[in-house]
Amino acid sequence: MRVSNRLVSATSRSVSFYSGLGKSLRPLTAPSAVCFSCETSPAPRQSPGPASCRLFSSLSSSLSSSSRRRTIPTTASSSSSRSALIARHLSSSSTENQSNMSGYTVRKVAQPNTLEHRIYIEKDGVPISPFHDIPLYANEQKTILNMIVEIPRWTNGKLEISKEEPLNPIKQDIKKGKLRFVRNCFPHKGYLWNYGAFPQTWEDPNHIHPETKAKGDNDPLDVCEIGELVGYPGQIKRVKVLGVMALLDEEETDWKVIVIDEKDPLAPKLNDIEDVERHLPGLLRATNEWFRIYKIPDGKPENQFAFSGECKNKKYAMDVIRETAEAWDRLIQGKVNPGEISLTNTTVQQSPARVEPSALPAIPAGQNLAPAPIDPSIDKWFFISGASV
């Protein structure tokens, strides 16, 4: 598949609904409400909260599936509908000042949206490594797994577990000295899901997968949690595995495991990947497209997928998880060269890098600071010509 290099950008002040994104997305046909962008006051800008979404209501019923563009100004939103949406998410979502499951809490250092910002995970008040100290499996049957949320749904800051720093805190990725934010590729706003990683997994860069024909990306296994509640960075979710996609990112295998929070109302109905399309039609197609095109606004080529973009089933996903868990086990025991990865941990008995909690380096006191202002251009939409799956 080819994608045109022509890219058109637009600010979040107006929206054009059209079918030009290709076969991967359904045209919008007069929905009663479309949530597409988060805004705060014009200046200074702060990182939007996941629940502060602008809601568009009562769109014209004449909106059709043709390729004709139509601009809907942001002033068309209903303040009452918007308030109801915000209240619903604030009342139902997990909040950052609540404890995680099983005694996990977060310690936030410095302002979000700064180079100094770190999120440490603590267990019963003791700092731990989310990479190494949190068990992969949450039950004895190994049917429920622990997931670390790095990036909440609808946000743009590219937060990730720091592999190189002791205790592997979550921080914002940096490129050329600047904080990284993903762009908004129409019709998406930030990440489509709660995005994060499985602890105690590692995609071995020394191993070439026999089916993808590409090496691992040297990171913990990536996870897309598709439940209805917006998470927060550092949250530990207990999730059900549903399937996996194999993204080929710059000649590396970058698995994306599809999961759902076990507490989600839809979780009992989702047991394998075909259930996702049945109950959440279009989500897997949108997920595939998002990963294909999200780097194009930054001047990079379209990403590719193994298996022609097919999302493999739960059994295949569990095999991938098992393989990456075995790779992590070799890593933490010192059987392979870790490179720049910090293996400091407090719980893995067979690890040469295990230390007593009393011997851990000092960590700054926790701070609950407001996010630093960000460039308003982060909210810009990019329209990518010819994108399809």
Asked if pLDDT for residue 51 goes beyond 80, the answer is no
Looking at residue 256, its pLDDT comes to 99
We report the CATH number of the domain holding residue 126 as 3.90.80.10
pLDDT at 323 over 90: yes
Number of domains in the chain: 2
- Asked if 188 and 268 sit in the same domain, the reply is yes
The full 3-state SS of 152-197, as one line of letters, equals CCCCCECEEECCCCCCCCEEECEECCEECECCEECCCCCCCCEEEE
With a cut of 80, say whether residue 69 has pLDDT above it.
no
Sort 234 into a burial class: Cβ within 10 Å, 0-12 / 13-18 / 19+.
Answer: buried
Domain that holds residue 370: 101-376
The mean per-residue pLDDT over the stretch 245-268 comes to 96
**188/311 same-domain check:** yes
Q: Per the domain annotation, does 386 fall within a domain?
A: no
Residue 304: pLDDT band with limits 50, 70, 90: very high
Confidence class for position 264, pLDDT limits 50, 70, 90:
very high
Judge if 217 and 279 occupy the same domain.
Answer: yes
> Is pLDDT above 70 for 100?
no
CB 372 within 8 A of CB 112: yes
Task: Judge whether residue 50 has pLDDT over 80.
Answer: no
| pLDDT the model gives residue 7 | 54
CA 241 – CA 247 distance, rounded (Å): 17
| Among candidate residues 101, 99, 203, the one with its CA nearest the CA of residue 161 | 203
Single out the residue in 25, 59, 92 at which a domain terminates: 92
Question: Do 197 and 257 belong together in one domain?
Answer: yes
Residue 383 belongs to some domain of the structure:
no
Q: How far apart are CA 165 and CA 136, in angstroms?
A: 21
Is 225 within 8 Å of 191 (Cβ atoms)? no
Residues 171 and 247 in one domain: yes
Q: Are 16 and 56 in contact (CB under 8 A)?
A: no
**Torsion angle defined by CA atoms of residues 13, 14, 15 and 16, in that order, rounded to the nearest 10 degrees:** -150
Q: Where is the domain boundary, 69, 92, 115?
A: 92
**Mean pLDDT score, 123-131:** 95
Three-state secondary structure call for residue 244: strand
Which pLDDT belongs to residue 385?
82
pLDDT digit string (tens) for 103-122?
899 999 999 999 999 999 99
Cα separations in angstroms, 78 against 35, 36, 41, 364: 12, 14, 17, 44
Comparing 355 with 77, the larger pLDDT belongs to: 355
Q: Is residue 62 part of a domain?
A: yes
pLDDT reading at 81 higher than 50: no
Ramachandran region of residue 177, left (φ > 0), alpha (ψ -120 to 50) or beta?
left
Neighbours of 371 (CB within 10 A): 16
- Which one of 44, 68, 92 terminates a domain? 92
Is the pLDDT at 53 greater than 80? The verdict is no
Do 152 and 184 lie in a common domain? Answer: yes
Whether residue 1 is contained in a domain is answered as no
pLDDT at 352: 97
Q: Establish if 152 belongs to a structural domain.
A: yes
Residues 63 and 127 in one domain: no
What band does 361 get if pLDDT is binned at 50, 70 and 90? confident
pLDDT reported for residue 262 = 98
147 shares a domain with 253: yes
| Mean pLDDT for all residues in the chain | 80
With bands split at pLDDT 50, 70 and 90, how would you rate the model's confidence at 270?
Answer: very high
Q: Which helix (H) or strand (E) holds 284?
A: helix 283-293
Is 241 contained in some domain?
Answer: yes
pLDDT of residue 91 exceeding 60, the answer is: no
pLDDT, mean of residues 138-152 = 97
Q: What is the pLDDT of residue 250?
A: 85
What was the pLDDT predicted at 89? Answer: 45
At 312, give phi and psi (nearest 5°).
Answer: -75, 160
Alpha carbon 61 to its chain centroid, in Å, reads 33
Regarding whether 112 and 86 lie in a shared domain, the answer is: no
- Compute the Cα dihedral for 345, 346, 351, 353 and give only its sign: positive
Range from 80-84, 131-135, 149-153, 285-289 carrying the lowest mean pLDDT: 80-84
Average pLDDT over residues 221-248: 98
Residue 384 counted as domain residue: no
What is the C-alpha to C-alpha distance for residues 194 and 260, in angstroms, rounded to an integer? 10
How far from chain centre, in Å, is Cα 99?
21
**For residue 379, what pLDDT is reported?**
93
Q: Based on the domain organization, do 26 and 157 belong to the same domain?
A: no
Per-residue burial over 290-329, b = 16 or more CB atoms within 10 Å of its CB, e = otherwise: bbbbbbbbeeeebbbbbeebebbebebbbebbebbbebbb
Please say if the pLDDT value at position 80 is more than 80. no
Owner of token pair 């909260």: 49
Helix (H) / strand (E) containing 190:
none
Assess contact for 244 and 237: CB atoms under 8 A: no
Residue the block writes with tokens 């988060």:
38
- Is 258 in the same domain as 188? yes
In tens, the pLDDT along 278-299 reads: 999 999 999 999 999 999 999 9
Is the peptide bond between 364 and the residue preceding it cis, with omega within 30 degrees of 0? no
Is there a domain that residue 186 lies in? yes
Query: Is residue 37 domain-shared with residue 141, that is, in the same domain?
Result: no
> Could you tell me if 212 and 175 are in contact, meaning their C-beta atoms sit under 8 angstroms apart?
no
- Cα gap 291→54, rounded to integer Å: 24
Please report the pLDDT score of residue 30 as a whole number. 29
